[in-house]
């Protein structure tokens, strides 16, 4: 083991880590709701303290790994720039593409649901395409739609489309024969039975697709920026600052990306709980 330059920092960090871990071991005994929330927070805090301690103890150069405190300072100091990048990549690129892609998949799913022939033809192809590395389309779409956010949104549309389509088509089959027959005996029209029975029954599948799509959307928007972008955006900033060794800014951008991804996922999970409250997986 290499001798640290400032052993006190290392000792302190390890001590805090051990204390927090012991706290978690104790918390694990209880089954309360508070413990369930506190444990991951303590674990995350312990990781940050350990990171800070190791970086300071070994005097790691900030161009290799900046400590969390520096990253937090940079984050607070460059809020306007981070906000502009966030708007460019997440709101304009990822979110608009996400909405368009999901809407398109929704419409197509309902259309091909009416035709068994199209289902037999499109589903195997859709299944296959969903497993392909669609990010590879990014350079081509950047060539077509230019460097601004339109090309990023286009990449996101393509990436999001297939997972949502497949899940929704599977979901539209999820209602049972008996339930559909019941709708028929009530004289329900196709649309009535679609809106009152089959779409609600498809919602758990639909949200599954949305969750997969939410991560893909951010990946697509950031990857597309590696192939050309205006001088704003998460992906642009990351590759530019890596070149200038501004690693604290890179980490601040990573924090932004992580927050955006988690918030998007969380929002979908909350909506899911609200829409599919009747599903067994949502009962508590």
Partner 1 sequence: MSRALPILTVLAAILAIWYAATIWMNATWVFDQAERNGQTVTWAEVIPQTMTQDRPLLPPPHQVAANLWQGIAGQAITSKRSLVYHAFVTFRGTMAGFGLGILLGVGLAMAIVRYRVMDGSVMPWAIISQTIPIVALAPMILTLSNSVGIDGKEVPKAIISAYLSFFPVFVSMIKGLRSPDQMQLDLLKTYGAGEGATFFKLRLPASLPYFFASLKVAVAAALIGTIVGELPSGAIEGLGARMLIGSQFGEPLIMWAALFAAAILAGLLIVAVGLVERLANRRMGGVA
Under the rule (CB under 8 A), what is the footprint of partner 1?
Answer: 21, 24-25, 27-29, 35-36, 39-40, 42-44, 64-65, 117-122, 124-125, 128, 131-133, 135-140, 142-144, 214-215, 218-219, 222-223, 226-228, 234-235, 238-239, 242, 247, 250-251, 253-254, 257-258, 261-262, 264-265
Among residues 36 and 196, whose Cβ is nearest to partner 1? 36
Choose between 121 and 182: whose C-beta lies nearer to partner 1.
121
Q: Say how far apart CA 244 and CA 92 lie, in whole Å.
A: 26
Tell me which DSSP letter residue 2 carries: P
Q: Report the nearest approach of partner 1 to the CB of residue 238 (Å).
A: 6
- DSSP symbol at 60: -
DSSP state of 176: -
Q: Shortest Cβ distance from residue 85 to partner 1 (Å)?
A: 11
Please say whether the dihedral angle defined by the alpha carbons of residues 92, 94, 95 and 97, taken in this order, is positive or negative: positive
How many secondary structure helices (H) and strands (E) does the chain include? 13, 0
Shortest separation between residue 3's beta carbon and partner 1, angstroms: 18
| Choice between 100 and 269, CB closer to partner 1 | 269
Question: Residue 22 has which token pair?
Answer: 């012991």
| Radius of gyration for the chain, computed over Cα atoms and rounded to the nearest angstrom | 24
Q: Greatest CA separation found in the chain?
A: 80
CB of 79 or CB of 254, closer to partner 1: 254
3-state SS, residue 50: helix
Q: Which pairs with CB-CB distance under 8 Å and at least 24 residues apart come from 76-82?
A: 78/249, 78/252, 81/237, 82/252, 82/253, 82/256
Q: Which two tokens stand for residue 93?
A: 């690129």
Which residue lies nearer to partner 1 by CB, 10 or 183?
10
Shortest separation between residue 213's beta carbon and partner 1, angstroms: 12
Q: How far is the CB of 263 from partner 1 (least distance, A)?
A: 9
Output 77 or 118, the one with its CB closest to partner 1. Answer: 118
Nearer to partner 1, 203 or 219 (CB): 219
* Rounded least distance, CB 48 to partner 1, Å: 12
Residue whose C-alpha is closest to residue 218's, from 96, 123, 51: 96
Give the separation between CA 155 and CA 2, rounded to whole angstroms. Answer: 46
For the bound state, the minimum distance from the C-beta of residue 140 to partner 1, rounded and expressed in Å, comes to 6
């Amino acid at each position: 083991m290499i001798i640290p330059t400032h052993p006190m920092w290392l000792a302190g960090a390890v001590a805090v880590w051990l204390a927090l871990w012991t706290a978690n071991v104790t918390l694990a005994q209880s089954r309360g709701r508070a413990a369930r929330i506190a444990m991951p927070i303590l674990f995350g805090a312990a990781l940050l303290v350990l990171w800070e301690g190791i970086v300071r103890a070994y005097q790691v150069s900030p161009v290799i790994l900046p400590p969390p405190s520096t990253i937090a300072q940079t984050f607070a100091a460059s809020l306007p720039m981070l906000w502009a990048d966030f708007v460019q990549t997440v709101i304009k690129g990822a979110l608009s593409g996400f909405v368009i892609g999901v809407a398109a998949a929704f419409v197509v799913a309902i259309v091909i649901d009416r035709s068994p022939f199209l289902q037999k033809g499109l589903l195997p192809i859709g299944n296959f395409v969903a497993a392909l590395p669609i990010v590879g389309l990014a350079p081509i779409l950047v060539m077509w739609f230019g460097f601004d956010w339109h090309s990023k949104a286009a990449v996101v549309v393509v990436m999001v489309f297939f997972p949502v389509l497949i899940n929704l088509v599977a979901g539209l089959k999820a209602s049972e024969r008996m339930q559909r027959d019941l709708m028929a005996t009530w004289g329900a029209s196709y649309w009535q039975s679609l809106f009152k029975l089959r779409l609600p029954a498809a919602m758990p599948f639909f949200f599954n697709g949305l969750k997969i799509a939410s991560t893909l959307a951010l990946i697509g928007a950031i990857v597309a920026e590696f192939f050309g972008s205006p001088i704003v955006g998460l992906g642009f900033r990351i590759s530019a600052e890596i070149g200038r060794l501004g690693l604290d800014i890179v980490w601040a951008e990573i924090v932004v990306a992580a927050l955006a991804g988690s918030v998007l996922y969380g929002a979908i999970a909350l909506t899911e709980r609200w829409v599919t409250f009747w599903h067994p997986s949502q009962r508590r």
